[in-house]
Protein backbone atom coordinates (compact mmCIF):
# COMPACT_ATOMS: atom_id res chain seq x y z
CA UNK A 1 0.00 0.00 0.00
CA UNK A 2 2.80 2.42 0.92
CA UNK A 3 6.27 2.46 -0.58
CA UNK A 4 7.41 3.24 2.95
CA UNK A 5 8.25 0.45 5.41
CA UNK A 6 6.98 1.20 8.87
CA UNK A 7 9.36 0.15 11.60
CA UNK A 8 7.22 0.30 14.66
CA UNK A 9 9.59 -1.66 16.85
CA UNK A 10 12.15 1.13 16.39
CA UNK A 11 9.71 3.35 18.22
CA UNK A 12 8.42 0.73 20.65
CA UNK A 13 11.95 -0.10 21.77
CA UNK A 14 12.23 3.52 22.88
CA UNK A 15 8.98 3.40 24.85
CA UNK A 16 10.66 3.36 28.31
CA UNK A 17 12.57 6.57 27.52
CA UNK A 18 9.40 8.18 26.24
CA UNK A 19 7.44 7.14 29.31
CA UNK A 20 10.12 8.78 31.45
CA UNK A 21 9.56 11.87 29.34
CA UNK A 22 5.82 11.58 29.90
CA UNK A 23 6.45 11.52 33.64
CA UNK A 24 8.47 14.76 33.42
CA UNK A 25 5.67 16.26 31.31
CA UNK A 26 3.14 15.34 33.99
CA UNK A 27 5.29 16.83 36.73
CA UNK A 28 5.66 20.11 34.87
CA UNK A 29 1.95 20.23 34.09
CA UNK A 30 0.89 19.52 37.67
CA UNK A 31 3.37 21.98 39.15
CA UNK A 32 2.39 24.72 36.71
CA UNK A 33 -1.27 24.05 37.48
CA UNK A 34 -0.80 24.26 41.26
CA UNK A 35 1.19 27.48 40.92
CA UNK A 36 -1.23 28.74 38.27
CA UNK A 37 -4.24 28.26 40.56
CA UNK A 38 -2.44 30.03 43.42
CA UNK A 39 -1.48 32.97 41.20
CA UNK A 40 -4.97 33.07 39.72
CA UNK A 41 -6.45 33.32 43.22
CA UNK A 42 -4.04 36.16 44.02
CA UNK A 43 -4.94 37.89 40.74
CA UNK A 44 -8.65 37.51 41.48
CA UNK A 45 -8.03 38.96 44.95
CA UNK A 46 -6.14 41.87 43.36
CA UNK A 47 -9.03 42.55 41.03
CA UNK A 48 -11.54 42.49 43.88
CA UNK A 49 -9.37 44.62 46.16
CA UNK A 50 -10.53 47.89 44.63
CA UNK A 51 -6.95 49.15 44.66
CA UNK A 52 -6.25 50.65 41.26
CA UNK A 53 -2.60 49.62 41.12
CA UNK A 54 -3.30 46.04 42.15
CA UNK A 55 -6.25 45.60 39.82
CA UNK A 56 -4.31 47.26 37.00
CA UNK A 57 -1.49 44.79 37.53
CA UNK A 58 -3.93 41.85 37.53
CA UNK A 59 -5.72 43.08 34.40
CA UNK A 60 -2.43 43.54 32.54
CA UNK A 61 -1.29 40.03 33.46
CA UNK A 62 -4.59 38.48 32.43
CA UNK A 63 -4.89 40.37 29.13
CA UNK A 64 -1.29 39.65 28.11
CA UNK A 65 -1.65 35.97 29.03
CA UNK A 66 -4.88 35.66 27.06
CA UNK A 67 -3.96 37.71 24.02
CA UNK A 68 -0.50 36.44 23.13
CA UNK A 69 0.56 32.91 22.13
CA UNK A 70 1.82 30.58 24.85
CA UNK A 71 4.94 30.10 22.78
CA UNK A 72 5.58 33.84 22.95
CA UNK A 73 5.26 33.76 26.74
CA UNK A 74 7.78 30.94 26.98
CA UNK A 75 10.19 32.78 24.67
CA UNK A 76 9.77 35.83 26.84
CA UNK A 77 10.57 33.82 29.98
CA UNK A 78 13.67 32.41 28.32
CA UNK A 79 15.13 34.88 25.82
CA UNK A 80 13.31 38.05 26.90
CA UNK A 81 14.34 38.19 30.53
CA UNK A 82 17.89 37.22 29.58
CA UNK A 83 18.29 40.91 28.66
CA UNK A 84 18.00 41.68 32.35
CA UNK A 85 20.74 39.20 33.11
CA UNK A 86 18.31 36.51 34.27
CA UNK A 87 19.25 33.19 32.72
CA UNK A 88 16.79 30.41 33.43
CA UNK A 89 17.22 26.77 32.59
CA UNK A 90 14.81 25.48 29.93
CA UNK A 91 12.64 23.71 32.49
CA UNK A 92 12.34 26.87 34.62
CA UNK A 93 11.46 29.00 31.60
CA UNK A 94 8.88 26.47 30.49
CA UNK A 95 7.40 26.36 33.97
CA UNK A 96 7.28 30.16 34.21
CA UNK A 97 5.69 30.44 30.77
CA UNK A 98 3.00 27.85 31.38
CA UNK A 99 2.28 29.12 34.89
CA UNK A 100 1.88 32.66 33.57
CA UNK A 101 -0.52 31.40 30.91
CA UNK A 102 -2.47 29.18 33.32
CA UNK A 103 -2.83 31.95 35.88
CA UNK A 104 -4.20 34.37 33.28
CA UNK A 105 -6.78 31.98 31.87
CA UNK A 106 -7.82 30.65 35.28
CA UNK A 107 -8.22 34.15 36.71
CA UNK A 108 -10.61 34.93 33.88
CA UNK A 109 -12.53 31.74 34.62
CA UNK A 110 -12.66 32.65 38.29
CA UNK A 111 -14.14 35.99 37.37
CA UNK A 112 -16.94 34.19 35.55
CA UNK A 113 -17.44 31.92 38.56
CA UNK A 114 -17.61 34.91 40.90
CA UNK A 115 -20.56 36.28 38.95
CA UNK A 116 -22.50 33.16 39.91
CA UNK A 117 -21.95 33.82 43.62
CA UNK A 118 -24.42 36.39 45.00
CA UNK A 119 -22.97 39.59 46.48
CA UNK A 120 -25.14 39.07 49.52
CA UNK A 121 -22.81 36.30 50.65
CA UNK A 122 -19.88 38.67 50.96
CA UNK A 123 -22.08 41.13 52.80
CA UNK A 124 -23.37 38.44 55.15
CA UNK A 125 -19.82 37.26 55.84
CA UNK A 126 -18.65 40.83 56.47
CA UNK A 127 -21.54 41.54 58.80
CA UNK A 128 -20.62 38.43 60.78
CA UNK A 129 -17.35 40.20 61.50
CA UNK A 130 -15.02 38.51 58.99
CA UNK A 131 -12.32 40.70 57.52
CA UNK A 132 -12.47 41.20 53.73
CA UNK A 133 -9.66 38.68 53.24
CA UNK A 134 -11.28 36.10 55.52
CA UNK A 135 -14.65 36.60 53.83
CA UNK A 136 -12.99 35.94 50.49
CA UNK A 137 -10.96 32.98 51.74
CA UNK A 138 -13.61 31.14 53.74
CA UNK A 139 -16.86 32.01 51.98
CA UNK A 140 -16.23 32.98 48.36
CA UNK A 141 -13.12 31.01 47.46
CA UNK A 142 -14.41 27.47 48.11
CA UNK A 143 -17.53 28.13 46.05
CA UNK A 144 -15.50 29.76 43.32
CA UNK A 145 -13.19 26.76 43.01
CA UNK A 146 -16.15 24.41 42.99
CA UNK A 147 -17.93 26.29 40.20
CA UNK A 148 -14.77 26.47 38.10
CA UNK A 149 -13.86 22.81 38.50
CA UNK A 150 -14.53 22.04 34.84
CA UNK A 151 -12.51 24.98 33.48
CA UNK A 152 -9.67 23.95 35.82
CA UNK A 153 -9.75 20.44 34.32
CA UNK A 154 -9.64 21.91 30.81
CA UNK A 155 -6.74 24.13 31.76
CA UNK A 156 -4.93 21.08 33.15
CA UNK A 157 -5.27 19.41 29.75
CA UNK A 158 -3.98 22.59 28.13
CA UNK A 159 -1.02 22.62 30.51
CA UNK A 160 -0.08 19.09 29.44
CA UNK A 161 -0.33 20.03 25.78
CA UNK A 162 1.66 23.23 26.34
CA UNK A 163 4.63 21.34 27.80
CA UNK A 164 5.40 20.29 24.22
CA UNK A 165 6.46 23.90 23.56
CA UNK A 166 9.42 23.50 25.91
CA UNK A 167 11.43 22.06 23.04
CA UNK A 168 11.68 25.55 21.54
CA UNK A 169 13.78 26.74 24.48
CA UNK A 170 15.97 23.65 24.53
CA UNK A 171 14.00 21.39 26.86
CA UNK A 172 14.86 17.74 26.09
CA UNK A 173 13.60 15.74 29.05
CA UNK A 174 9.86 16.11 28.54
CA UNK A 175 7.88 13.82 26.25
CA UNK A 176 8.18 16.01 23.17
CA UNK A 177 11.85 16.76 23.81
CA UNK A 178 12.68 13.07 24.26
CA UNK A 179 10.82 12.22 21.06
CA UNK A 180 12.65 14.96 19.20
CA UNK A 181 16.02 13.66 20.40
CA UNK A 182 15.15 10.08 19.45
CA UNK A 183 14.05 11.34 16.07
CA UNK A 184 17.46 12.89 15.55
CA UNK A 185 19.00 9.50 16.36
CA UNK A 186 16.77 7.19 14.33
CA UNK A 187 14.96 9.36 11.73
CA UNK A 188 11.78 7.37 12.37
CA UNK A 189 9.77 10.61 12.54
CA UNK A 190 6.34 9.22 11.84
CA UNK A 191 6.55 6.18 14.12
CA UNK A 192 8.08 8.08 17.04
CA UNK A 193 5.69 11.00 16.92
CA UNK A 194 2.71 8.69 16.45
CA UNK A 195 3.72 6.91 19.63
CA UNK A 196 4.16 10.25 21.42
CA UNK A 197 0.70 11.25 20.20
CA UNK A 198 -0.78 8.06 21.65
CA UNK A 199 0.92 8.73 24.99
CA UNK A 200 -0.40 12.30 25.04
CA UNK A 201 -3.88 11.04 24.21
CA UNK A 202 -3.77 8.53 27.05
CA UNK A 203 -2.53 11.17 29.51
CA UNK A 204 -5.35 13.53 28.54
CA UNK A 205 -7.94 10.76 28.85
CA UNK A 206 -6.55 9.81 32.26
CA UNK A 207 -6.84 13.42 33.41
CA UNK A 208 -10.44 13.64 32.23
CA UNK A 209 -11.27 10.33 33.86
CA UNK A 210 -9.54 11.32 37.10
CA UNK A 211 -11.37 14.63 37.13
CA UNK A 212 -14.67 12.81 36.74
CA UNK A 213 -13.87 10.49 39.65
CA UNK A 214 -12.76 13.44 41.74
CA UNK A 215 -15.89 15.40 40.89
CA UNK A 216 -18.06 12.47 41.88
CA UNK A 217 -16.37 12.34 45.29
CA UNK A 218 -16.08 16.10 45.88
CA UNK A 219 -19.50 17.21 44.76
CA UNK A 220 -21.76 14.75 46.53
CA UNK A 221 -24.51 16.78 48.08
Partner 1 sequence: MFDTSMTLSDVWFLAQGAWITILVTIISVFFGTILGIGFGVFRYQVGPWWGAPVTFILDIFRSIPLLIQLVLVNAFLGIVLRLQISGFAVACGVLTFYTAAYCAEIVRGGIEAVPVTTRRAARSLGLNWFQDMRYIVAPLATRVALPSWIGLALGVMKDSALVYVVQVTELLKSTQILITRLQEPLFLLIIGGLFYFIISFPIARLGGYLEKRWSND
Which residues contact partner 1 (rule: CB under 8 A)? 2-4, 63-64, 66-72, 75-76, 79-84, 157, 161-162, 164-165, 167, 176, 189-190, 193-194, 196-197, 200-201, 204-205
Nearest approach in angstroms of CB 84 to partner 1 is: 8
Residue 114 or 125 with smaller CB distance to partner 1: 114
Could you give the CA distance from residue 46 to residue 55 in angstroms, rounded to a whole number? Answer: 5
Residue 74 or 135 with smaller CB distance to partner 1: 74
- Overall residue count recorded for the chain in this entry: 221
Give Rg (Cα) of the chain.
21
Residue 76 or 141 with smaller CB distance to partner 1: 76
Nearest approach in angstroms of CB 80 to partner 1 is: 5
Nearest approach in angstroms of CB 133 to partner 1 is: 28
User: Environment class of residue 172 by beta-carbon count within 10 Å: exposed (0-12), middle (13-18) or buried (19+)?
Assistant: middle
Nearest approach in angstroms of CB 104 to partner 1 is: 12
Residue 145 or 194 with smaller CB distance to partner 1: 194
Nearest approach in angstroms of CB 39 to partner 1 is: 20
Say which DSSP state 27 is in.
Answer: H
Helix (H) or strand (E) holding 5: none
Nearest approach in angstroms of CB 75 to partner 1 is: 6
Residue 42 or 194 with smaller CB distance to partner 1: 194
Helix (H) or strand (E) holding 156: helix 149-162
Could you give the CA distance from residue 34 to residue 102 in angstroms, rounded to a whole number? Answer: 9
CA distances from 166 to 27, 90, 127 (A): 13, 7, 49
Who contacts 174 (Cβ-Cβ below 8 Å, separation ≥6)?
Answer: 21, 24, 25, 28, 94, 163, 164, 166, 167
Q: Do 72 and 97 touch, CB atoms closer than 8 A?
A: no
Element counts in the chain: helices (H) and strands (E):
11, 0
Residue 105 or 136 with smaller CB distance to partner 1: 105
Amino acid sequence: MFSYTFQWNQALNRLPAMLDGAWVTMQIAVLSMVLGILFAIVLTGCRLSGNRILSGFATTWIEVARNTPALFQIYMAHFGVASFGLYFSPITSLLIGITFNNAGYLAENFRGALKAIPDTQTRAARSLGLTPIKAFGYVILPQMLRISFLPITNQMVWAVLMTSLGVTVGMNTDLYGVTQDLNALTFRTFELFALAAVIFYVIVKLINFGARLLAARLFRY
